[in-house]
Amino acid sequence: MPHVKETLDELKKRGYEMGIVTSRLSESCEMWLKDLEIEDYFNAVIGNENYRHAKPAKDCIIRACEIMGHGHDAVVYTGDNPHDVETGINAGVYTVGFVSDWEKKEAIENSKPNVMIFDFSELIKVLNVDHAWTYEQS
């Protein structure tokens, strides 16, 4: 995906802590991140062995918050499918729907994220806006 590494660089430079929650095993995701040479950007990888109920249950986000030492009100959760958006909403976190596949655009939009982005670099603009980091539908 375009602009991912540059965006991760900028987020890290600004002091954001980043984690991944995945339906895969942590080890599998960590290998994938290493292959993409982006493993050093993430403070935590939360695989399915670390939480009890699968997405769209909020367990994975709550577990990530526990591991990373942050409350859910400090989280911006970005996902590229409706299931991810539902997970963020269920956890009460500010939820960004990332349209990486135009065939999923309508479904992501219908899942009602706080905001939608179409290029990963737009995440920087989202974080520059001053708003409460909880899920509030407008």
Q: Quote the CA–CA distance of 51 and 46 in Å, as a whole number.
A: 8
Q: Two tokens at 76?
A: 């911006």
Q: What is the pTM of this model?
A: 0.89
| β pairing state of 115-117 and 94-98 | parallel
Q: Quote the CA–CA distance of 122 and 15 in Å, as a whole number.
A: 17
Alpha helices in 52-136 (DSSP H): 59-68, 82-91, 105-110, 122-128
pLDDT per position as a tens digit, 65-92: 999 999 888 899 999 999 999 999 999 9
- Mean pLDDT over the full length of the chain: 92
Whether 136 shows a pLDDT value over 90: the answer reads no
Mean pLDDT of 20-25: 94
Q: Quote the CA–CA distance of 89 and 112 in Å, as a whole number.
A: 9
Q: Quote the CA–CA distance of 70 and 28 in Å, as a whole number.
A: 25
C-beta separation of 126 from 117 below 8 A:
yes
Q: Quote the CA–CA distance of 24 and 54 in Å, as a whole number.
A: 10
pLDDT of residue 120: 96
Helix (H) or strand (E) holding 29, with range, is helix 26-35
pLDDT of residue 138: 47
pLDDT of residue 99: 96
pLDDT per position as a tens digit, 97-112: 999 999 999 999 999 9
pLDDT of residue 132: 62
